[in-house]
Amino acid sequence: MATKLDNDQRARAERPSHVPIDRVYEIDMYALEGIEAGYHEAWKQVAPAGTPDLVWTPFTGGHWIAMNGETVKDVYSDPGRFSSEVIFLPKEAGELYQLVPTRMDPPEHTPYRKSLDKGLSLAKIRKVEDQVRQVAGDLIDKFADRGECDFAAEYAGTFPVHVFMALADLPLEDVPLLSKFARQMTRPEGNSPEEMAADLQAGNDGFFGYVDPIIRARTGGSGEDLITTMVNTEINGAPIEHQKAQGLISLLLLGGLDTVVNFLSFFMIHLARHPELVEELRTDPIKLKRAAEEMFRRFPVVSEARMVARDQEYRGVTLKRGDMILLPTVLHGLDETINAEPWKLDLERRKIDHSTFGGGPHRCAGMHLARMEVIVTLEEWLKRIPRFRLKDDAAPTYFSGIVAAVENVPLTWAPAKSA
């Protein structure tokens, strides 16, 4: 995996002349130093208090990084200065990525976004809650009596995927293939930007090839599933172009497959280490429903980028058109100047400020679905497994990238009969 590479193998970019030497920090987004201790911990460690708002790293083709919450938020909210023309790093890979409408700026982005909002509206999501609850319950029932499971493999890696496949009316046997494409796109492997670009391109092509016959079959159809809704959408009064539909449906698959999967494991590790929080959630159903927002703040998983749209002075440095700025959302939710005691998952927290779902016109279109998946997971889990912990020899493995990942999450509990 990219994160296991020897740092020295990875091509380093020359420092461009407009980058001051004191802004150069050696940060490899795909192989963060200290990642063994945790993804969020590693990012915070490379961005201690006093770090400039923007630093430049020679890794991953050379790019800027927004190092605190104010900067992450500001860049997200200003598409005029910070474009979505390229959003994945290395830039060579990001230029090949064709998912729609993430690489469009307003006004081109707006009609596609309206369709997404229609397909993933709160009302639509509420309609599928019972179906989602059934999926969660069935999965947990498979291992609840066993008294142990690998949460990442047996629940987190499966639940959001099953939910999404049901919403999209796709067969479950396709999941391993789609998960592979998602990994290639969000944590591409390779020793150089070019090799990583090739891996990302393979993932992108994989998605496009997969959705092509599905789109053709559902165009003009009357099904209620998410794909049929989206492919029969109109863009500025005309049917959506086939290639754009491929990009849009592929994005939905990617969004629905990789983010929630990893987010769920991060927060379950935390709950397993904090039985007092589990008790609070178990005994207060209203608190549980409100807990999702604080969990999203505490466990951001996405780090994608924006491209500088024009030459400008910003946060004390000169930026050139085409420069890339990485936006680690972890550095917003866990910014102590914005959220006091940021490491604490505080179910009573009043003002919760984060960019876990991005910001500005591209703010996550799937957040109602994500929120519902989190609440339903907690409700169904705690009904069956009221107390649980990490196994004594547990050693979760963390990976950094565009979407952070975690594997090996062995949980243990007293099965119902003996509880």
Binding residues for ligand HEM (CB under 6 A): 84, 87, 101-102, 113, 116, 251-252, 255-256, 259-260, 263, 301-302, 304, 329, 356-358, 362, 364-366, 369-370
Tokens 């915070």 label which residue? 44
Long-range contacts of 145-148 (CB under 8 A, 24+ apart): 145/415, 145/416, 145/417, 146/415, 147/412, 147/413, 147/414, 147/415, 148/391, 148/410, 148/411, 148/412, 148/413
DSSP codes, 175-235: HHHHHHHHHHHHS---SSHHHHHHHHHHHHHHHHHHHHHHHHHHTT----SHHHHHHT-EE
How many residues comprise the chain? 419
19 vs 260, beta carbon nearer ligand HEM = 260
With beta carbons less than 8 A apart as the criterion, state whether 108 and 236 touch. Answer: no
Question: Shortest approach of ligand HEM to residue 410 CB, angstroms?
Answer: 22
What backbone torsions phi and psi does residue 28 show, to the nearest 5 degrees? -105, 105
11 vs 352, beta carbon nearer ligand HEM = 352
Question: Shortest approach of ligand HEM to residue 312 CB, angstroms?
Answer: 20
Question: Shortest approach of ligand HEM to residue 113 CB, angstroms?
Answer: 5
11 vs 128, beta carbon nearer ligand HEM = 128
Question: Shortest approach of ligand HEM to residue 87 CB, angstroms?
Answer: 5
4 vs 114, beta carbon nearer ligand HEM = 114
With beta carbons less than 8 A apart as the criterion, state whether 306 and 360 touch. Answer: no
27 vs 301, beta carbon nearer ligand HEM = 301
Angle (deg, nearest 10), helices 129-144 and 159-168: 140
Query: What is the helix (H) or strand (E) element at residue 56, kind and residue range?
Result: strand 54-57
329 vs 377, beta carbon nearer ligand HEM = 329
Q: In terms of C-beta density within 10 A (0-12 exposed, 13-18 middle, 19 or more buried), how is residue 341 classed?
A: exposed
Question: Shortest approach of ligand HEM to residue 17 CB, angstroms?
Answer: 29
Q: Which residue is nearest to ligand HEM (CB)?
A: 366
From the list 358, 417, 374, 413, the residue with the least C-alpha distance to 149 is: 413
55 vs 132, beta carbon nearer ligand HEM = 132
Q: At 172, list the tokens.
A: 């479950």
DSSP code of residue 94: H
90 vs 255, beta carbon nearer ligand HEM = 255
Question: Shortest approach of ligand HEM to residue 66 CB, angstroms?
Answer: 13
Question: Shortest approach of ligand HEM to residue 256 CB, angstroms?
Answer: 4
Question: Shortest approach of ligand HEM to residue 259 CB, angstroms?
Answer: 3
